[in-house]
Amino acid sequence: MRKIIFDIETKNLFEEVGSNDPAALDISVIGIYDSKTDTYAAYTDKELKQVWPIIESADVLITYNGDHFDIPLLNKYYPGDLSKIKSLDLLVEIRAVLGRRLKLDSVAEATLGKKKIGHGLEAVEWYKQGEIEKIKKYCLEDVKITKEVYEYALVNSHLKYKDNGELKQIKLDTSKWQDKKESALTFTLPF
């Protein structure tokens, strides 16, 4: 099963575009892990044509808040429909059990003992300052953390978080996470 784990950073914020729709934002960088090649790569918005064949080859797209944010934003640029590819959004899985959202940083710290190296607001500032390599590094670190959180959940059927200082577990049903979804091609024309 080919897993593509990805995260997106943007050039702007919701308040700057006057909308809460992720598709109103603009991509600065997308970071990707490809399980087939066991590699990480980061691409700018000008390099998205290189991203499409990777995304299209996925049996599953794995994200943290991707169903709400990353996939709708990326779909704005994509000439097909990314929602036709199986998606596993770890935040959706957590919210279905817990009834509320948790930040990736909170889950990573409690589950893996590590924190993110920044946050999305900083990435927007870095973009405005022309610090693209800094954004790429930050974005790929988020992809690595998402991958590690996913792998931990897959093996242990739970993730951890802190609630008022108390370490708690979120039991997850991971039994279908590895199932392939049959889908019709929804993809791009040859490049």
CATH number at residue 114: 3.30.420.10
Looking at residue 187, what is its pLDDT?
A: 53
- Could you tell me if 144 and 40 are in contact, meaning their C-beta atoms sit under 8 angstroms apart? yes
Strands 27-34 and 39-44: antiparallel
- Could you tell me if 140 and 58 are in contact, meaning their C-beta atoms sit under 8 angstroms apart? no
In a domain, residue 184? The reply is no
Q: Give the residue numbers spanning the domain of 133.
A: 3-171
| DSSP calls for 99-111 | SS---HHHHHHHH
Looking at residue 115, what is its pLDDT?
A: 85
- Could you tell me if 122 and 138 are in contact, meaning their C-beta atoms sit under 8 angstroms apart? yes
In a domain, residue 189? The reply is no
Q: Give the 3-state secondary structure of residue 124.
A: helix
d(CA 101, CA 104): 9
d(CA 41, CA 29): 10
Q: How many domains does the chain have?
A: 1
Tens-binned pLDDT, residue by residue, of the chain (191 aa)? 999 999 999 999 999 999 999 999 999 999 999 999 999 999 999 999 999 999 999 999 999 999 999 999 999 999 889 989 999 999 999 999 999 999 999 999 999 999 888 777 899 999 999 999 999 999 999 999 999 999 999 999 999 999 888 999 999 999 999 888 765 455 554 44
